[in-house]
Amino acid sequence: MKNFIIIIFISFFVFKNSSQAQGIEILSGDSCFFYTSINTQDSIIIEILNNVNAEQIITFENIVSPFSISDNEISISALDTSFVVVYFNPTETGIFNMDLSYEANLLGTGNLIFQAEGTLVELSLSDDIIVMPAIPLGETSCSSFNIFN
C-alpha cells in the first residue's frame, strides 16, 4: 500500500510538472522579415500562450533599433493567449539582428531571434528598352514610360 501511494504521488508530480514545463509558449510568428525598403515599416505578429493556471506578466527586453515592439510588457490571463507586434523600420541599408528576450513573472523565459534587411527602394520600368526615333539635329522627340515602386 505504501508503494502504491508513492507511485501515485510521483505520477502526479511528473504530470503537473510536464504540463507547465514551458510557462510561456510562442505559438505563431515568423522571426524573419522580408526585404524592407528604408523609411518603410514591416511587422510580424507573435502569438504567445500562457500555459500556467494563473495570470502572468511577460516583460520583453533587448529591443534594438530599427526594431520596436507594440508593448514592452503584457499581461496574459491563465491558460490564455495574447499578441505582440514586432516592427522593423530601417533608416539605412544593411542586415539587422535582434535577440529579443522575454521573461514571465511566474514561469517561462526565452529568446526570439529576428533578422531583417533594409534595402534601397526597388524600382522597375514598364519597358526594358526605350526606343527613340531617328530625328535631325536640333529637333526634339518624346517617348513615355512608367516607373513602378
Tens-place pLDDT, residues 7-24: 333 333 332 322 334 789
User: C-alpha grid cell for residue 90?
Assistant: 530601417
Report the Cα 6 to chain-centroid distance in Å. Answer: 46
From CA 48, how far away is CA 75, in angstroms rounded? 11
**Hey, which residues does 91 pair with through a beta bridge?**
none
**Hey, which residues does 67 pair with through a beta bridge?**
88
E strand or H helix that includes residue 83: strand 81-88
Q: How confident is the model at residue 29 (pLDDT cuts 50, 70, 90)?
A: low
Higher pLDDT residue, 31 or 63? 63
Q: Is the pTM of this model over 0.85?
A: no
Instruction: Render pLDDT for 33-84 as a digit per residue (tens, 0 to 9).
Output: 778 999 999 999 999 999 999 999 999 999 999 999 999 999 999 999 999 9
Backbone angles phi, psi at 85, to 5 degrees: -110, 130
pLDDT value of position 146: 82
